[in-house]
């Protein structure tokens, strides 16, 4: 099979090479998936799991990629819940990777059926952003109906999932943007989702103070929003806590082990 491999971390994406590799075999509780589409972020090449196994041993040349979408081609011994020729998508174990290839072996527990009306490319784009959004809102943020959410980067992969999850949960959702965006307009068809703040990355910024020097557009909600989705931008989230300190009411994606936007 054809696969993209990496051997030198310093080379980054320039070191990615298309080669021939043997097809993987399905182990116990594994599924072999014929990959039709795969998600990939350049940041994966900086993760130690791309280059080593769980014991720290070098596993190069390795095949990057963790988000496959495709069709089941083989089942390992003891595998249940899926069938050959079934459409699936999922999130591969980071220490195994391997989805930037024509076939990948993946544990059945890391896969889910892909509906017939969802394209493979869409399926491959969902797992990591969707899981990050879900964890941030409901596991870390403990979001409930009637609460307020401020989303920075709402047009991004994670941000667009956050707005949809929050809307379905009945939360009052506000997002930051600099200009009109067709994606946001397509997913914000109700009164709970409003664009009321300027995108803070477009405002004057002081690297020394690590904060934006301009006020967000529009009135602040008293006490600030209940949840702020701000990725790595801790200075943005701290501004909404009022005192500039972390508070129990403020929950940030930057607490996750691998923020994505």
Of 155, 158, 96, nearest in space to 125 by CA: 158
CATH number, domain of 72, equals 3.90.180.10
Pair (230, 136) in one structural domain: yes
Residue 176 lies in a domain: yes
Domain count, the chain: 2
Statement to judge: residues 66 and 34 lie in one domain: yes
Q: What is the pLDDT of residue 107?
A: 95
Q: Does 96 map to a domain?
A: yes
With a cut of 60, say whether residue 68 has pLDDT above it.
Answer: yes
pLDDT bracket for residue 171 (50, 70, 90):
confident
The pLDDT score that the predictor gives to residue 158 is 84
Q: Are residues 110 and 150 in the same domain?
A: no
Q: Are residues 61 and 140 in the same domain?
A: no
> What are 175-214's pLDDT values in tens digits?
665 455 666 666 553 434 444 333 333 333 333 433 333 3
Domain edge (last residue) among 52, 83, 118: 118
| DSSP state, residue 146 | T
Task: Encode pLDDT of 106-122 as tens digits.
Answer: 999 999 999 999 999 99
Measured between alpha carbons, how far is 194 from 192 in angstroms, rounded to an integer? 6
The two tokens of residue 98 are: 């391997």
Find the domain containing 99 and state its range.
2-118
If asked whether residues 103 and 142 sit together in one domain, one would say: no
Query: Closest Cα to residue 101, out of 125, 76, 65, 53?
Result: 65
d(CA 116, CA 146) in angstroms, rounded, equals 34
Whether residue 245 lies inside any domain: the answer is yes
Across 44-48, 176-180, 231-235, the highest mean pLDDT is recorded for 44-48
Residues 142 and 247 in one domain: yes
Helices (H), the chain: 48-51, 120-125, 127-134, 157-168, 182-187, 234-239
In a domain? residue 90: yes
Residue 123 is assigned to a structural domain of this protein: no
Stated pTM of the model: 0.73
Query: For residue 151, what is the domain's CATH number?
Result: 3.40.50.720
CA 190-192-196 angle, 5° bins = 110
Q: In the numeric block, which tokens belong to residue 129? A: 């952003």
Q: Both 76 and 149 in a single domain? A: no
Residue 261, in any domain of the structure = no
Looking at every residue in the chain, the average pLDDT score rounds to 76
Residue 131's alpha-carbon distances to 54, 61, 142, 188, in angstroms, are 22, 28, 15, 21
């Amino acid at each position: 099979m054809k696969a993209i491999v990496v051997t030198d971390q310093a080379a980054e994406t320039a070191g990615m090479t298309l080669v021939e590799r043997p097809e993987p075999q399905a182990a116990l509780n594994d599924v072999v998936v014929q990959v039709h589409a795969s998600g990939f972020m350049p940041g994966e090449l900086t993760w130690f799991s791309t280059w080593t196994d769980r014991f720290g041993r070098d596993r190069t040349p390795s095949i990057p990629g963790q988000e496959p979408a495709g069709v089941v081609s083989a089942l390992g011994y003891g595998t249940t819940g899926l069938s050959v020729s079934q459409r699936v998508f999922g999130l591969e174990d980071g220490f195994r990777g391997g989805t930037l290839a024509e076939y990948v072996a993946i544990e059945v527990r890391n896969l889910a059926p892909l509906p017939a009306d969802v394209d493979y490319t869409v399926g491959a784009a969902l797992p990591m952003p969707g899981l990050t959004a879900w964890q941030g809102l409901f596991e870390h943020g403990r979001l409930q109906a009637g609460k307020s959410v401020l989303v920075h980067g709402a047009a991004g992969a994670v941000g667009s999932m956050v707005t949809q999850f929050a809307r379905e949960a009945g939360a009052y959702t506000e997002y930051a943007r600099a200009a009109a965006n067709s994606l946001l307009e397509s997913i914000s068809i109700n009164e709970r989702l409003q664009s009321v703040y300027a995108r803070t990355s477009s405002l004057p910024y002081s690297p020394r103070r690590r904060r934006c020097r301009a006020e967000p557009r529009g009135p602040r909600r008293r006490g600030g929003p209940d949840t702020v989705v701000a990725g790595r931008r801790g200075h943005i989230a701290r501004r909404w806590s009022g005192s500039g300190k972390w508070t129990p009411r403020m929950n940030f994606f930057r607490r996750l082990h691998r923020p994505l936007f």
